[in-house]
Amino acid sequence: MGITIKKFVVKEARRSSKRALVDFMIDSGAVYSLVPQKILKKLGIRPYRKMEFILADGAKFTRKVGDAYFEYQGEGGSAPVIFGEKDDEPLLGATTLESIGLVLNPFKRELYPMRMVMAKSI
């Protein structure tokens, strides 16, 4: 697991003109990303389900989940997004990193292009 802070653009979809620039804590140990619901609603992003999450201390909580489009340095991808509530901080997880084709180097705390590997049948 590695943690760092980076700015990403969040939009409803790739071609959407509405956008928000968000400072995310990037945690390669987190699965989904979290954006304050106030930002998501302004962008027109709507939740489609609720999910239960567990914190490191074992505490459980429920949050709404939808889909958003994330961009970093001109590259982008869609991923599930958690609708953050009061006191929730923006968090960027592994699913979003993978959708953009990025990997976090936990030692240098930098993002790098993911090496894309494909299997080929013989």
Give CA–CA dist 91/34, Å, rounded: 5
Q: What is the mean pLDDT of the chain?
A: 92
Average pLDDT over residues 73-81: 96
Task: Using DSSP bridges, classify how beta strands 75-84 and 33-36 pair: parallel, antiparallel or unpaired.
Answer: parallel
**What percentage of residues in the chain have a pLDDT greater than 90?**
75
Number of domains in the chain: 1
Q: Identify the pLDDT of residue 3.
A: 75
Q: Decide: 52 and 60 in contact? Cβ < 8 Å.
A: yes
C-alpha 79: how far from chain center: 7
Give CA–CA dist 99/70, Å, rounded: 9
- Judged against a pLDDT cut of 70, whether residue 1 lies above it is answered with no
Domain extent for 77: 3-113
Give CA–CA dist 73/82, Å, rounded: 22
- Judged against a pLDDT cut of 60, whether residue 2 lies above it is answered with no
The CATH number of whichever domain residue 43 belongs to comes to: 2.40.70.10
- Judged against a pLDDT cut of 80, whether residue 59 lies above it is answered with yes
Greater confidence (67 vs 1) lies with: 67
Give a yes or no: residue 96 inside a domain. yes
Q: Which two tokens stand for residue 66?
A: 């939808």
Give a yes or no: residue 118 inside a domain. no
Give a yes or no: residue 121 inside a domain. no
pTM flag (> 0.75): yes
Q: Identify the pLDDT of residue 12.
A: 97
